[in-house]
Amino acid sequence: MKKLLGIVVLSLLLSGSASSEILNFKCSVKEQKFGDGILCNNCGSDDGLSFDLDNNKILVSPYFDFDLEEYQDQFIIKNSSKYFEWTHPTMGHKFKFNKFTFELDHREYNALNNMNVWTGEVKYPGAFFFKVLYKCSKINKI
């Protein structure tokens, strides 16, 4: 009986470590412009941001107004000590979130001519269609 109780307690303790670190933010547009430098009034809008750091998943992202869970396999995600980046290469969108300053850089590129569809790497980083910079603040839930 003691062994059974020990197994139950141990399994309960270990199951707590399976939780993910989900971060939620409210992001406000700080700057938005087209690639030629002309200001853009509707390239981006204030939006929520949520991602799962442990499982490298985007849960909520500016620009996308559909359920991202179904499209996780279409994103290329990079998680470093400073940045959390996600790219949708077929649509030409690249996001870069700074974990220290909570700033988000979203750029849309011409996916056919400027972005490698397999890796998400951009050939000419300055040749974007539009850029939106967000300042985000951490919140409990979206």
Q: Give pLDDT tens digits for 72-106.
A: 888 999 999 999 999 998 888 999 999 999 999 99
Per-residue pLDDT, 97? 96
Task: Please give the structure tokens belonging to residue 115.
Answer: 């972005």
What is the mean pLDDT of each successive set of 10 residues along the chain, which is 142 residues long?
50 51 94 89 90 90 86 90 92 93 93 77 85 94 73
Per-residue pLDDT, 16? 44
In the chain the first and final C-alpha atoms are separated, in Å, by 45
**Dihedrals φ, ψ of 12, to 5°?**
-65, -40
Q: Which of 46, 64, 67, 50 is nearest to 132 (CA)?
A: 46
